[in-house]
Homo-oligomer: A and B are copies of this chain.
Amino acid sequence: MQHTAIVTAPIDVAALMHRIEDDGVGAISVFVGTVRELNEGRAVSGMDYEAYEPMAASELRAIAEEACAQRAGLRVAVEHRVGTLAIREASVVIVAAHAHRGPAMDAARYIIETLKQRVPIWKREHYRDGERVWIDPTRRVDAA
């Protein structure tokens, strides 16, 4: 079972956790990516997320399907937000549930790592000094 979406409104973590509920679930792994105030030493005031929406939606769906195909009984709900986000707001929420903890935790990690490789989404940091810069992970040392 999987649900995936690119959304513009704040992501409701509890609603995503509700989606994967099932009597057979013994372990739920959740990953939340949030906007933080400091990146490579610069003060950040917010972040724009932009997507190539139809392709981002289909890549996200494909990744969730792959995660489920690799782990029988896995239940997955993933949403990625686009638009302008403030510090502390969630850009992505991944919920993976399974009878056992290993597959649940492995799936959540697989989905975030693969999402960062394959889903056409970009982010532009707003710095407190007014500058706005598109993030290029191929030039960065660290990433959230």
Q: Indicate whether A34 reaches chain B with its CB closer than 8 angstroms.
A: yes
A144 & B26 in contact (Cβ 8 Å cutoff) = yes
Distance from A86 Cβ to chain B, minimum over Cβ atoms (Å): 10
Chain B interface: which of A49-57, A99-107, A127-135? A99-107
Q: Indicate whether A109 reaches chain B with its CB closer than 8 angstroms.
A: yes
B87 & A36 in contact (Cβ 8 Å cutoff) = no
A28 & B34 in contact (Cβ 8 Å cutoff) = yes
Chain B interface: which of A2-10, A13-21, A64-72, A76-84? A13-21
A19 to B88, CA, bound (A): 13
Q: In the complex, what residues of B have CB within 8 A of residue A28's CB?
A: 30-32, 34
Determine the residue in chain B with the shortest Cβ distance to A30.
Answer: B30
Q: Indicate whether A112 reaches chain B with its CB closer than 8 angstroms.
A: yes
Contact A29:B26 (CB < 8 A) given known A99-B36, A143-B100, A144-B100: no
Please report A residues at the B interface, Cβ cutoff 8 Å.
13-14, 17, 21-38, 87-88, 99-101, 104-105, 108-109, 112, 142-144
